[in-house]
């Protein structure tokens, strides 16, 4: 049995929730735990669009990470990871601080890749980090009190659809008449079954969202959006919900990575290059099979990651992660409506939203 090891959790995202809840247990084994995160709070991405639409407030969708860590005797460092030196077993943080580790787990999430932006960057937001969606909500509301507003949402995946629907809900609250444009690439929810696509489009269009499939965004110049097919559109406010990618520091450090640059991990959620490094959530690439960038996999990884980190510290056998089968798919499309699908069963409207709201609030209650 090993004693006196230092576990560092890089990121306080969904895949680290169970481990952070069990910090006191790890410390009782004789080990130290440090958590590095960019904020004292972690915001649950599954409820982010609902916060943007006014259905939730920030306190409804966030976990008090610093309070949770420090109350169990762990150390919290408010900073961002910008690099890692695995040969030295050191993390490099944005502040210049270096943190040594014996065991390291990554849950640093992903970021939205930006197009070329020329001129003003005011009123241009991305869907991540989630906490900025509240600032976007306030800015949209303030602007809509003064004038008619055109809000452009860029992205044809679930994030784009949910954001557009919730912005439409936000703008129905007695402001100037406004427009929500959803630029969905070459097809709204193109990777999903036709029934999901049709139901989602119907709800969005019923809410007044104008869906445009004009190709991919090429450049933004002074709020004018130019697409690769040559079409241009003007907007007062832009929210980018295009594809997300892990940070580049895994490739920079020489790790084996997946096609998107995510940390390659084996069936134990462990780096094949450095056995003292694990990971979960959007920042990893699961070697056994590609996993969608959805929160359900991070939630499923939680208990396995917690077990394996403890087992590694104690010199005990690791447990393999089974991603499981088909997952429950639910979109919150604003105005208390959504789309739900599980295998052959699908429903849309109020019931779908209520199911999602119940699941999300139950998840929050487990860790808040």
What's the rounded Cα separation, in Å, for the pair 133 and 60?
A: 14
Are the C-beta atoms of residues 188 and 182 closer than 8 Å to each other?
yes
Residues 6+ apart with CB under 8 A from 198: none
What's the rounded Cα separation, in Å, for the pair 366 and 275?
A: 30
Q: What is the pLDDT of residue 1?
A: 47
Q: What is the pLDDT of residue 176?
A: 87
Q: What is the pLDDT of residue 2?
A: 57
Answer whether the bond into residue 163 is a cis peptide, omega within 30°.
no
| Cα 167 off chain centre by | 18
Which residue do the tokens 């990575």 mark? 257
Are the C-beta atoms of residues 298 and 245 closer than 8 Å to each other?
no
Length of the chain: 368
* Pairing status of strand 209-212 against strand 179-183: parallel
Instruction: Give me the sheet containing 345-349, strands edge to edge.
Output: 329-332, 338-342, 345-349
H runs (alpha helix) in the chain: 17-21, 23-28, 48-52, 65-71, 132-144, 158-170, 194-206, 249-252, 295-314, 350-367
Q: What is the pLDDT of residue 111?
A: 85
| φ/ψ bin of 28: left (φ > 0), alpha (ψ from -120 to 50), beta (otherwise) | alpha
What's the rounded Cα separation, in Å, for the pair 180 and 203?
A: 14
DSSP 108: -
Task: Show the low-confidence residues of the chain (pLDDT under 70).
Answer: 1-3
Handedness of CA 237, 242, 244, 247 (dihedral sign): negative
Are the C-beta atoms of residues 110 and 128 closer than 8 Å to each other?
yes
Joined tokens for residue 220: 């933004």
- Domains in the chain with CATH codes: 6-110+246-314 (3.50.50.60), 112-242 (3.50.50.60)
Q: What is the pLDDT of residues 282-301, one digit of tens each?
A: 999 999 998 988 889 999 99
Q: What is the number of helices (H) and of strands (E) in the chain?
A: 10, 26
């Amino acid at each position: 049995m090993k004693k006196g090891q230092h576990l560092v959790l890089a990121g306080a995202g969904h895949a680290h929730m169970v481990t952070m809840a069990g910090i006191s247990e790890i410390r009782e084994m004789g080990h130290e735990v440090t958590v590095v995160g960019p904020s004292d709070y972690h915001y649950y991405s599954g409820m982010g669009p609902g916060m943007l639409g006014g259905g939730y407030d920030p306190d409804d969708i966030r976990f008090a990470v610093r309070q949770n860590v420090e109350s169990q005797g762990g150390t919290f460092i408010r900073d961002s990871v910008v690099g890692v030196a695995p040969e030295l077993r050191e993390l490099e943080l944005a502040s210049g601080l270096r943190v040594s580790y014996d065991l390291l787990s990554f849950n640093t999430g992903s970021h939205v890749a930006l197009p070329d932006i020329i001129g003003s960057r005011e009123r241009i937001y991305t869907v991540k980090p989630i906490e900025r969606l509240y600032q976007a909500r306030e800015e949209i509301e303030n602007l809509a009190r003064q004038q008619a507003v055109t809000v452009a949402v860029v992205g044809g995946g679930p994030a784009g659809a949910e954001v557009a629907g919730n912005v439409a809900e936000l703008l129905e609250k007695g402001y100037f008449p406004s427009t929500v444009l959803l630029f969905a690439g070459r097809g709204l929810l193109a990777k999903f079954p036709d029934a999901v696509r049709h139901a989602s489009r119907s709800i969005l269009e019923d809410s007044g969202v104008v869906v445009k499939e004009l190709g991919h965004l090429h450049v933004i110049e002074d709020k004018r959006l130019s697409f690769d097919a040559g079409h241009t559109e003007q907007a007062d406010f832009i929210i980018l919900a295009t594809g997300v990618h892990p940070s580049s520091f895994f490739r920079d450090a020489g790790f084996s990575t997946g096609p998107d640059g995510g940390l390659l991990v084996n069936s134990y959620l462990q780096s094949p290059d450095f056995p003292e490094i694990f990971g979960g959530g959007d920042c990893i690439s699961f070697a056994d099979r590609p996993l969608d960038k959805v929160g359900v996999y991070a939630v499923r990884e939680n208990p396995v990651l917690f077990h394996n980190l403890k087992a590694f510290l104690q010199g005990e056998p690791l447990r393999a992660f089974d991603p499981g089968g088909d997952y429950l798919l639910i979109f919150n499309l604003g105005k208390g409506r959504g789309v739900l699908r599980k295998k052959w069963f699908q429903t849309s409207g109020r019931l779908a939203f209520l199911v999602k709201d119940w699941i999300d609030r139950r998840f929050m209650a487990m860790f808040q």
